Structure 1
């Protein structure tokens, strides 16, 4: 391990130039996209060749319980964490000089742990590569800055801005609205530079304290790693300024939700040409097949792109969130939008995923649906040329319904892996059942004395 410094990106080397590395964080994304792992002094990392965590972290629910997986074993074995040194980056919010490194999860024989979300995305990408295809993605991250909320029984409120007022809603694209919390934005830029993360742009969204960060297009695994890192970093930047950053799909009642829109294209690995455009610049059958696959298979994948009970509060009319599988050119009311672009950049934007999804699993699910379309070679239904906001019946409206569809999706199981799908469904079932045991304020207000 003594030569691992030569394998890390230049930005990480630049961060450490002239300094002594104090600590290394060995991290891996669990089913929720939470960073799990262990931190160790740098000299300990230098002397180690393997790191271990129990495989059960992939069956842990968001509330800290463990789903029961009926696979005939209950030994809770360890997995080997293998560092991917290309992901090494600074943790610039820490008090000492720290690097964080994303690890892959392997069995003792070196085979990938099938329930690890990063491995699920790798599995999907391997299927594309076997066909000679290279998928390209560009995520958009929407999230809210909110006031510190230390009592879960209290509603979430917008943060206090530099004017001494709470952040205002309905100020989309307003530069003044972004300037209200300019100091935390400055920290995000500074942290991103230290980490080697590229921000394509930051803008104010429609909600109070809601911000969108766009990322440049690239390799899906690299972009999923970046979203994973960004979520952690943005939370840390917000805490420095007495506020929270939340990636909940719908944190504030009456405000819009937060999406993770994903732009997709597919390149020919041999030529670099976009499979969605002909040499003359027209759209191709592959372009239509990809859209057709999204239309047919996304309902079964909603449990992956809308993974919590709160996710379905975003799927409501009149809040700029498409609740449909229509497709159209430059039509933001459709769930599947084709942005204005040159032929070389022709792409499909999946607008259905929430920002609360695990980025590895959200991207894997969307690409899996597109892959099925490319291999099934069935086109989409006719393009929607009007408003599609009235189409509301194509997607499951509760987590329970979404998990049922996912459990029956044999085509998706073959792409994502049966072991993963079984574990994921069990985790989501447990989370949904636990939620159903909670009595809400709405029930107490309207039912306590009236029924």
Structure 2
């Protein structure tokens, strides 16, 4: 048993130093990004090289119902073989005993990857880049809210009360005083992240009451998606310790800004390490423009993956700190595609459309897929937008139903993400959307009951 622990990542070994490991959580991210799996005693984990879960975990909607995506054999819930990726072993520092979490990859009984497992989808896209001699690099930004506990779904979500007792005190963007409002929660976030071996590039107060942003250092897309997946759980656990919730809903509070997962992209030449977006003189290259064009041309089809719920589209409201278009601009936060200020070596493209509610593996995969298609198609983008892009008309799908319709027809995108993934995703999300359409909202009861 000591042998396998000797090969753990350094942070996991440090967490267990002079301690006895009690339990291992064997987990796999499902379509929404929920951790599914089993908790096993450490002694049992040492004797197993895999475990089984039914493939139906990838057919569930967010409500726990099922999409009819099982295929020709029917809903027989075949077992998948889940094998640990030991590089993902990390602490679960909020538990009462000494516990590790380990992400597992999903295979079928023939040893082939399960194509609709989100981590496998992202690996597929990264492999397509590698086949071209390209190394994709991403840096996610995570926005989220700390809210008061909400035990009744019929009640509106309210911001968490900070130390001042006034929610408006936490609505000052980039204010250090606002960050201090939530000091105890943030302290636990830092402590948990350190125990798990994650490096935070910074925490800032965003524009909403109780809205924070965590930036992660750039790196390998799969590794960064793993970190976002782990961070969502970490942040929720830190909040629960202080009698509040952390939510990654795209639009949890009606009059506050939504929460995005902005994704920064660059692409390196695998042989030279050079940024493909900059030439030897530091200027912008054709691949840089092609990548932007790929985002413009294919993100409408990918939006159903990057904005996966009906609530996601409540974020895309004019003048509410979220883009409503596919314009691109240099250092312009009103455009959907932004080129941040940077040195030529760090030249990158920021996708500002993805919501924080998306599965990080799928959101990053979809965004990279759009850029990959742009690099392969070698088209030029629209002219750079100058000014306030919020003043223009939106050119993205405005509802989940519309977005799913565009995604369903996007065969070029399906080939990059995987046709079987596209089939399963479309079925599951359509079933979920149909569930939503059966719910009558308070707005409908208020304005239609006696007036139409």
Instruction: Provide the TM-score with structure 2 as the length reference.
Output: 0.98
CA contact (8 A) 1:159 1:167 kept: no
Say which SS state the counterpart of residue 223 (structure 2) adopts. helix
**Cα-to-partner distance string for 1:194-234 (whole Å, 9 max, x where unaligned):** 00011000000000000000000000000000000000000
Cα drift, residue 73 of structure 1: 1.4
Name the counterpart of 1:198. 199
Are 1:36 and 2:36 an aligned pair?
Answer: yes
Name the counterpart of 1:334. 335
CA contact (8 A) 1:168 1:207 kept: no
Are 1:294 and 2:295 an aligned pair?
Answer: yes
**Cα-to-partner distance string for 1:143-197 (whole Å, 9 max, x where unaligned):** 0000000000000001111122335454000111111110000000000000001
User: Unpaired segments of 5 or more residues in structure 1?
Assistant: none
CA contact (8 A) 1:167 1:180 kept: no
Name the counterpart of 2:122. 121
Q: Map residues 264-279 of structure 1 onto 2, 5 A cutoff.
A: 264-279=265-280
Q: Map residues 115-194 of structure 1 onto 2, 5 A cutoff.
A: 115-166=116-167, 168=169, 170-194=171-195
User: Unpaired segments of 5 or more residues in structure 2?
Assistant: none
CA contact (8 A) 2:31 2:58 kept: yes
CA contact (8 A) 2:141 2:262 kept: yes
Count of matched residue positions in the alignment of Structure 1 and Structure 2: 451
CA contact (8 A) 1:30 1:117 kept: yes
Are 1:62 and 2:31 an aligned pair?
Answer: no
Distance 1:403 1:35, change over 3 A: same
Cα drift, residue 85 of structure 1: 0.2
CA contact (8 A) 2:171 2:178 kept: no
Are 1:448 and 2:440 an aligned pair?
Answer: no
Name the counterpart of 2:71. 71
Cα drift, residue 447 of structure 1: 1.3
Q: Map residues 229-378 of structure 1 onto 2, 5 A cutoff.
A: 229-378=230-379
Are 1:395 and 2:393 an aligned pair?
Answer: no
Cα RMSD (Å) of the superposition?
A: 1.0
Name the counterpart of 2:408. 407
**Cα-to-partner distance string for 1:336-370 (whole Å, 9 max, x where unaligned):** 00000000000000000000000000000000000
Cα drift, residue 391 of structure 1: 2.9
Extract structure 1 runs of 4+ deviating beyond 4 A: none
CA contact (8 A) 2:170 2:179 kept: no
CA distance in 1, matches of 2:163, 2:170: 16
Name the counterpart of 1:7. 7
CA distance in 2, matches of 1:169, 1:196: 29
CA distance in 1, matches of 2:320, 2:169: 16
CA contact (8 A) 1:26 1:37 kept: yes
Cα drift, residue 2 of structure 1: 6.2
Name the counterpart of 2:212. 211
Name the counterpart of 1:430. 431
Instruction: Provide the TM-score with structure 1 as the length reference.
Output: 0.99
Cα drift, residue 8 of structure 1: 1.5
Cα drift, residue 47 of structure 1: 1.4
CA distance in 2, matches of 1:14, 1:293: 43
CA distance in 1, matches of 2:249, 2:154: 16
CA contact (8 A) 1:161 1:167 kept: no
